[in-house]
Amino acid sequence: MRKQLDDLLAKGFIRPSVSPFAAPAFFVAKKDGSLRMCIDYRAINKITIKDKYAMPRPEELLDRLHGAKIFSVLDMRQFFYQLRIRMGDEPKIAMCTRYGNYEWLVMPFGMCNPPPTSQRAIQAKVEFVWSEVCEAAFKELKEKIAELILLFIPDPTHPFDLYVDASEKEICIAAALMQWDPRVNGLRVEALASKKLVQAEQKYLIREKELLAVVFGVKTFRIYVNHTTKVYSDHESLKWLSTSGGLIEGPDRVKRWAIFLNALGIVPQYIPGSKNVVADALSRRPSRTRMQKQIEEERSDEKEKDRIAQVESTQKVCLDTKFLDQVRKGYAQDSFFKELLPFLTHAPTQGTPPAYLCLRLSHFSVKEGLLYYDQRRLAIPTKTLQRQVIWKCYDSPLAGHLGVDKTYR
């Protein structure tokens, strides 16, 4: 508590108080084990005149993103502390601690009106300004990215460095061939390689996998590797190759690998994992097979398959009249939509719907012969039509993919 108070005093957020009002301050534990200071403002919240400002709904804000191509995310960290309490109201929100009473000069957390007040300030003051300077900087950034060279042509007059790594989780090994470039005073990437371990290799000890990564990297880039090449691994136990004195213990494959490396005069050198980021990233690329198996396991308990094709993309998908006509005809071919549609279009003459349809009817609506789920998602009836929508979204060069996992889901 003393440390928290000193920090707030140093920032000018609070000051000592002699107010006749005070709310108790205490700490609660967060999920990560750290502590958060809380103030019990329930009493003052009961008599506070509520600010009836209309807070925006997240669903409506997400709908506004339709058609957008550039997205930005900003975190208003401790935003309440950026707004000043009205002069004269400081004593009303004082807090009491074992070290004395203090009153806030900025909006504290725990009161009922700071959320609408901060939202009003954001909408009234924060505007997105795209000036000519911003446009010029954006164009320059795109040009620099387009000109960026990721892989360079090797220079045989300079020695090479080989960085290797093995991933226990992703059962993969990788190698990155690099070369020192005196023009930029740093390393540049010459070639990259990675390989998924076969079932037998997956059973190796982690030290054997790391040594296998060294052998894989040396064999892959054999035409560039010689006794002057430095091989780096973030597995420190590989240093035994230089101290074994020719006495190598372990399986025969380890002995063969050691003899192969010794013949080339190569001894792996240890570097911390934080300096082996390229090879580490290559060895951790998600496995499509493992990811698909995980998704299938998650869906094994579901009784019904989703019939709504929800596609998110950074580009606008235009569905022509011909496609929409196919969607309307497809409803008659789908057993679920064929039974659902009459209760939405001719409800009085259809009688009471079955129990399993009652819960679903409230989510669907009909507009121009098309079914919509929750007013905004077009229901696509057949797999063929669903694939056409997905192709329209992801086949374009401008299409966006929200990461490997989300796109696959």
What single string gives the DSSP state of each residue in 25-79?
EEEEE-TTS-EEEEE--HHHHHHSPP----PPPHHHHHHTTTT---------TTG
Q: What is the DSSP letter of 169?
A: T
- Structural domain boundaries, residue 57: 2-125
Helix (H) / strand (E) element for 362: namely: none
Domain count, the chain: 3
Q: What is the pLDDT of residues 283-292, one digit of tens each?
A: 876 655 555 5
Sign of the alpha-carbon torsion through 276, 278, 283, 286: positive
The pLDDT value given to residue 187: 85
Q: Do 100 and 183 belong to one domain?
A: no
The domain boundary residue, chosen from 125, 141, 175: 125
- 138 assigned to some structural domain: no
Q: What is the pTM of this model?
A: 0.40
Q: CA angle, 274 as apex, 186 and 288 as ends, to 5°?
A: 105
Tokens of 109: 């957390």
**Residue 142 carries which side chain, given as an amino acid letter?**
K
Tokens of 394: 């992801």
| Whether residue 33 has pLDDT greater than 90 | no
Tokens of 92: 């009303």
| Whether residue 305 has pLDDT greater than 50 | no
% of the chain exceeding 90 in pLDDT? 17
- 183 assigned to some structural domain: yes
- 226 assigned to some structural domain: yes
CA–CA separation, 335 vs 356, rounded Å? 14
Q: Do 164 and 233 belong to one domain?
A: yes
CA–CA separation, 95 vs 81, rounded Å? 16
Q: Do 173 and 277 belong to one domain?
A: yes
Least confident of 3-12, 13-22, 101-110, 294-303: 294-303
CA 130 → CA 33, 65, 73, 106, 261, distances in Å?
A: 42, 18, 16, 31, 58
Q: What are the residues whose beta carbons fall under 8 Å from the beta carbon of 361, sequence distance 6 or more?
A: 340, 343, 344, 353
The pLDDT value given to residue 304: 45
The domain boundary residue, chosen from 283, 316, 335: 283
Q: Do 189 and 266 belong to one domain?
A: yes
The pLDDT value given to residue 66: 81
Q: What are the residues whose beta carbons fall under 8 Å from the beta carbon of 344, sequence distance 6 or more?
A: 361, 364, 365, 366, 371
CATH assignment at residue 116: 3.10.10.10
Is pLDDT larger for residue 362 or for residue 51?
51
Q: Do 33 and 97 belong to one domain?
A: yes
Q: Which residues pair with 172 in a beta bridge?
A: 167, 196
Q: Do 92 and 180 belong to one domain?
A: no
Q: Do 92 and 191 belong to one domain?
A: no
Q: What is the DSSP letter of 85?
A: P
Q: Do 119 and 21 belong to one domain?
A: yes
| Whether residue 297 has pLDDT greater than 80 | no
Tokens of 268: 């792996």
Burial per residue of 220-248, b for 16 or more beta-carbon CB atoms within 10 angstroms, e otherwise: bbeebbeeebebbbbbeebeebeeeeeee
The domain boundary residue, chosen from 125, 148, 183: 125
CA–CA separation, 174 vs 167, rounded Å? 9
- 186 assigned to some structural domain: yes
CA–CA separation, 213 vs 165, rounded Å? 6
CATH assignment at residue 182: 3.30.420.10
Q: Do 314 and 401 belong to one domain?
A: yes
Q: Do 6 and 59 belong to one domain?
A: yes
- 141 assigned to some structural domain: no
Is pLDDT larger for residue 37 or for residue 298?
37
- Nearest CA-CA partner of 235 in 283, 269, 282, 285: 269
- 196 assigned to some structural domain: yes
Q: Do 311 and 237 belong to one domain?
A: no
Q: What are the residues whose beta carbons fall under 8 Å from the beta carbon of 288, sequence distance 6 or more?
A: 408
- 293 assigned to some structural domain: no
- 386 assigned to some structural domain: yes
> What is the layout of strands, in order, in the sheet containing 370-373?
364-367, 370-373, 377-378
Helix (H) / strand (E) element for 163: namely: strand 160-167
> What is the layout of strands, in order, in the sheet containing 172-181?
186-196, 172-181, 160-167, 230-233, 269-270
Q: How confident is the model at residue 249 (pLDDT cuts 50, 70, 90)?
A: low
Q: Do 277 and 309 belong to one domain?
A: no
Look at strands 186-196 and 230-233 and give their pairing: unpaired
Q: CA angle, 381 as apex, 379 and 383 as ends, to 5°?
A: 120
Q: What is the pLDDT of residues 314-343, one digit of tens each?
A: 455 567 788 888 888 888 888 888 887 887
Average pLDDT along the chain: 80
CA atoms within 13 A on the CB side of 75: 2
